[in-house]
């Protein structure tokens, strides 16, 4: 499991907490689901390349947003012992905000679409 302290590497001088959040929140659940659905020993196949040093740099923020765009089939819900309307509304807003945020990497080069996305984000936060 990665921690916030593991989010930086010796080759990276800028701290980026997203790097530490990608492993436990995105990659581990995907690997676990693949392992359960018939891709046995996928974990051992992925361990060797991940241990080798690499020189490629990846924008983890962009990668996380793009993964959320295509993998938004599993619901993320705040579990509550009470069936309160506030939690249902919060879950609905969270799902909509994730959908809107996932469009940023695609829209960032197009000024008009990006400004429209920013407006949608602002209205989703309200």
Residue-wise pLDDT for 32-45, tens only, equals 777 777 766 666 66
Average pLDDT across each block of 10 residues of the chain; the chain has 126 residues. List them in order: 41 59 70 72 61 63 70 56 73 79 78 83 81
Looking up tokens 């490629």 gives: 56
pLDDT at 23: 64
Residues 46 and 68 in one domain: no
Question: Is there a single domain that holds both residue 63 and residue 122?
Answer: yes
Q: Which CATH number do you get for residue 94?
A: 1.20.120.330
Check residue 104 and give its pLDDT.
79
Domain range enclosing 89 = 59-126
For residue 104, CA distances in Å to 1, 62, 90, 98, 125 come to: 28, 8, 22, 10, 16
Q: Structurally, how many domains does the chain consist of?
A: 2
**Do 51 and 83 lie in a common domain?**
no
Is residue 42 located within the same domain as residue 53?
yes
What pTM did the predictor assign? Answer: 0.41
Long-range Cβ contact pairs of 123-126 (< 8 A, separation 24 or more): 124/93, 124/96, 124/97, 124/100, 125/97
pLDDT given at position 7: 41
């Amino acid at each position: 499991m990665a921690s916030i302290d593991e989010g930086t590497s010796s080759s990276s001088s800028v701290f980026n907490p997203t790097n530490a959040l990608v492993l436990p929140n995105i990659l581990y659940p995907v690997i676990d689901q693949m392992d359960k659905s018939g891709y046995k020993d996928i974990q051992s196949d992925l361990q060797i390349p991940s241990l080798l040093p690499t020189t490629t740099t990846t924008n983890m923020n962009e990668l996380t947003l793009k993964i959320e765009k295509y993998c938004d089939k599993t619901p993320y819900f705040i579990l509550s012992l009470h069936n309160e309307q506030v939690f249902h509304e919060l879950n609905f807003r969270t799902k909509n905000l994730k959908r809107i945020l996932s469009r940023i990497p695609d829209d960032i080069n197009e000024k008009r679409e990006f400004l429209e996305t920013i407006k949608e984000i602002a209205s989703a936060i309200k």
